[in-house]
Amino acid sequence: MKYPIKTPQTKQSNDRLFNLLVRWNEALLVLTKEQNMTTNQDKKTAQEAFIQHKANIDIKLETLKIASADHFDSDPDKIHWGDVALLNHIEKELDDIIWQIYNGNEHR
C-alpha cells in the first residue's frame, strides 16, 4: 500500500497561501462594495445620476481648458516629440468621446 508523501510546508508555500487569502479577501470586498453601490443606485433616480455625472464632466472639461492654456504643462520653448505624442493621444481620446456622444448612442 502506497502512502502519499507529505512534504513539509515551506515559507514559499505559506507565502502563496497568504497571497491567495489576501486576493480572496480583496475580491470579497469588491463584491460587497459593488452590491452596496447597486443598492444605492436603486435609491437614486436616473435624472439625479445624470446631473451628477454631467457636473463631474464639466469639472473635467474646465481642468482640460486650464491645462491647455498652460500648454499641458510643457515649456513652449522646449517642446519635444514626447509632448507631441501626448497631445496626439489626448486628441484621439477626445475624438472617441465626441464620436460616442453623436454617433455611438444611435439606440436612443
Mean pLDDT of 28-33: 77
Can you give the residue range of the structural domain that contains 83? 74-108
Helix, strand, coil tally for the chain in percent (to 5)? 80, 0, 20
Cα separation, 102 vs 16, in Å, equals: 49
C-alpha cell at 55: 457636473
Cα separation, 18 vs 26, in Å, equals: 12
Q: In which band, very low, low, confident or very high, does the pLDDT at 30 lie, cut at 50, 70 and 90?
A: confident
Count of domains in the chain?
1
102: in domain:
yes
56: in domain:
no
Specify the higher pLDDT residue, 33 or 106: 33
43: in domain:
no
106: in domain:
yes
Write out pLDDT tens, residues 33-83.
Answer: 777 666 666 778 999 999 999 999 999 999 999 999 999 999 999 999 999
Amino acid at site 15:
D
Amino acid at site 102:
Y
Contact 51/60 with Cβ under 8 angstroms?
no
Cα separation, 20 vs 18, in Å, equals: 5
Q: Which helix (H) or strand (E) holds 70?
A: none
Lowest mean pLDDT among 21-25, 48-52, 60-64, 85-89: 21-25
